[in-house]
Structure 1
Amino acid sequence: MYGRERLAASLAAPEITVAPGVYDGISARLVEQQGFETGFLSGAGVSNSRLAQPDVGFLSLPDIADLTRHLADAVDIPIWVDADTGYGNAVGVHRTVRRLADAGAAAVMIEDQEWPKRCGHMAGKSVVPFAEAVAKVEAADAARREHAPELLIKARTDAATTRGLDEAIKRLRAFADAGADIVFADALTSEPDIRHVAAEVDGAALSVNMGFGVRSRPTTPLIPARKLEAMGVDAVIYPRLITAAATAGMQRALGELRTAIDTPETYEAPDTVVDWESYMDLVGKPAVDDLEARFAVDDEETAD
């Protein structure tokens, strides 16, 4: 259900699992149409796109659960869901995992930051004590076992930049022991650090964050997916790619519109937008047409 078994099989395979970030139905369907096997519902992407706000803890469980439900209905690929800190203590995490499992998540990610959390690549973050972080993963695992056994649990630590790499490794090991299927240390700042984590952590699939995917950041270096695979990384997410690309595309389109407004002659920039037929296909109009034809009622019968 919801691609959970397919996602587990992908993570267990020798090839690295690639998960572009998604933030709405169109982005998820584009990821699916481009042949990617899974997508990652990015909390940062949702906060940026829905609220025009940074990733600093403005989202709630109802926000994410509602969007998860829509995405699970829109695509057939499994969707990982970013649940921030789990929206509370260990009891809150237990409820969050149940809600997101019901909404159709294939995997749920929780992190060990103090609330309000912030993007792992921003300054000013802090993490909860070790025991509390582990207890939250244990609660997530318990909720999964009791309610949705095929759901995958991803546990993230932000300890590398706040308490050092050794503490991050300690937490990842404990998360794996507590039942996490996937572990993730965010904002690792060098290739040697990623190699070291990959060598020191086992018992769960290892994930890393490559941000934009096609553009470097001042924190984690940009490393090709196949090189990460050779380094022992099992999964890579690109949570910032589509939101940043959509922003660039909207800026270009609005610039072209400004030119069209200021030009007395008809002005076209067809490469700025997709064509009508492609767009209707993307949003599922042919499927709606098929349903309308299937359930059409004869006008004469209606009149009777």
Structure 2
Amino acid sequence: MAYGKALRAAVAAPGTTPLIGVFDMLSASIAARHYDGLFVSGFGFSASHYGLPDVGFIAWPDVVGFAQRLRLALPRHHLLVDVDDGYTDPEVACQVVRALEQVGASGVVLEDQQRPRRCGHVAGKRVLPLEQYLEKLELVLAARTDLVVVARTDATDEDEVLRRAAAFARTDADVVLVEGMPSVEVVRAVRRVVGGKPLLFNQIAGGRSPRLSLGELAGLGVDAAIYSTPCLFAAHAAIEDAMVRLKEADGVLPDDSIGVADSQELLWRNVSRHHDVPGPRASRPVAAG
């Protein structure tokens, strides 16, 4: 299946296509019931797989293995994968891209940060010289066959943001992402300089960017939005609450918990011989009620 082609079509569709950040197979299984676009967030993967902050600890074979498990369980979903800076060297970045395409990823996000890297929504980020990043980007673009490539800048100075966004738009990258856009005005300015190139927006709770609805993003000309951490932060809050309640109840399990049958019903959908079970109905969010 041409997963890249399918993701391009979703991004090109009217409105803003949401891609939900997942951090493990359970979070992906739940998110996949409601959305057909998933995002392998570096923030979430670092937290889940290593218990460490998103500052450069991720090893690329671990990400490839996760993407492979996702694709086996979810054969029809869009899978956009954060590959940080391509894990340092251009040669490594190209190897990662080829490996991810082979296991069925739909696309990758390649950033222009220098190491030591930081989460895109915290202070202290440094970016590579533009020409150095563009060289890496061009090699990655040449290495892919169908995979969607998102060119991401972590620049924070507005003039530099616009210079880099315009430069990315002139390449064969499929989509441009400016990480941590601090205002609607900056989103509009980026939209102008990238011209007709699809634009991606990242929303993260407590991050630098404003909270905007999909309708508001569509009005700003944003083609796709990644939601990096709703699953991770919801799990964090729910597990903390469950532990507090269990302790307060002297170890008695609550009556309102998810039970064995609920969990099994979810997980059996991921067994390959059950892939004829209907999945999400559209590339847009499933309406409540």
1:186 Cα deviation after fit: 0.5
CA contact (8 A) 1:44 1:54 kept: yes
Alignment of 1:94-243 (within 5 A): 94-144=94-144, 149-159=145-155, 161=156, 164-212=157-205, 217=206, 219-243=208-232
Q: 1:81 corresponds to which letter in structure 2? A: V
Q: CA deviation at 1:92?
A: 2.2
Q: Would the aligned equivalents of 1:113 and 1:127 in 2 still touch at CA under 8 Å?
A: yes
Displacement of 1:155 in angstroms is 1.0
Structure 1 unaligned blocks of 5 or more: 291-304
1:73-112 alignment runs, 5 A limit: 73-75=72-74, 76-112=76-112
Deviation, 1:268, is: 4.4
1:2·1:105 contact (CA, 8 Å) conserved in 2? Answer: no
Mapped pair 1:257 → 2:242: no
CA contact (8 A) 2:180 2:208 kept: yes
Moved over 3 A (4+): 285-290
- Structure of higher RCO (CA pairs closer than 8 Å, 6+ residues apart): 2
Q: Unaligned stretches of 5+ in structure 2? A: 275-289
1:237 and 1:286, CA in 2 relative to 1: closer, same or farther beyond 3 A? Answer: closer
Once residues 122 and 142 of structure 1 are traced to their aligned partners in structure 2, the CA distance between those partners, rounded to angstroms, is 31
Distance change in 2, residues 1:259/1:86 (3 Å):
same
- My pick for the range that moved more, 124-133 or 92-101, is 92-101
How far apart, in 2, do the equivalents of 1:107 and 1:186 lie?
A: 17
Q: Which amino acid aligns with 2:243?
A: L
Q: Specify the alignment match of 1:33 in structure 2.
A: 33
Q: Secondary structure at 1:33's aligned position in 2?
A: coil
* Structure 1 contact 2–78 (Cα < 8 Å) conserved: no
Paired letter, 1:247: H
Q: Residue 177 of structure 1 contacts residue 203 of structure 1 at CA under 8 Å; is this kept in 2?
A: no
1:269 matched to 2:254? The reply is: yes
What is aligned with 2:7? 7
Q: How many residue pairs are counted as aligned between the two chains?
A: 273
Offset of residue 289 of structure 1: 9.6
- 8 A Cα contact 2:162 2:189, kept in partner: no
**SS of residue in 2 equivalent to 1:154:** strand
Relative distance call for 1:197 and 1:99 in structure 2 (3 A) is same
Name the structure 2 match of 1:16. 16
Q: CA separation of 1:142/1:48 partners in 2, compared to 1, >3 Å: closer, same or farther?
A: same
Percent identity reads 35
Question: Separation in 2 of the partners of 1:194 and 1:173?
Answer: 13
Structure with higher Rg: it is: 1
Deviation at 1:173, TM superposition (A): 2.3
Question: What's the offset of the Cα at 1:63?
Answer: 1.4
d(CA) in 2 for partners of 1:118 and 1:105? 24
Instruction: Give the match for residue 267 of structure 2.
Output: 283
Quote the RMSD (CA, aligned, Å): 1.9
Query: What CA deviation, in whole Å up to 9, does each residue of 1:99-119 have, x standing for no partner?
Result: 111122100111000022110
TM-score normalized by structure 2?
0.89
Alpha-carbon shift at residue 166 of structure 1 (Å)? 2.2
Q: 1:193-215 CA deviation, whole Å, 9 max, x = no partner? A: 11111122124210011113xxx
Structure 1 Cα separation of the partners of residues 83 and 271 of structure 2: 32
Q: Whole-Å Cα distance in 2 between the matches of residues 173 and 261 of structure 1?
A: 59
Q: Secondary structure at the match of 1:208?
A: strand
> Within 2, Cα distance between the matches of 1:247 and 1:158?
26
Aligned partner of 1:276: which letter? V
Deviation of the 1:288 alpha carbon? 8.3
Equivalent residue, structure 2, for 1:302: none
Write the distance in 2 (CA, Å) between the matches of 1:21 and 1:132: 29
Q: Which structure has greater helix proportion?
A: 1
Matched-pair contact (CA < 8 Å) for 1:15–1:234 = yes
User: Using the alignment, how far apart are the partners of 1:22 and 1:210 within structure 2?
Assistant: 14
Q: Is the Cα contact below 8 Å between 1:81 and 1:108 reproduced in 2?
A: yes
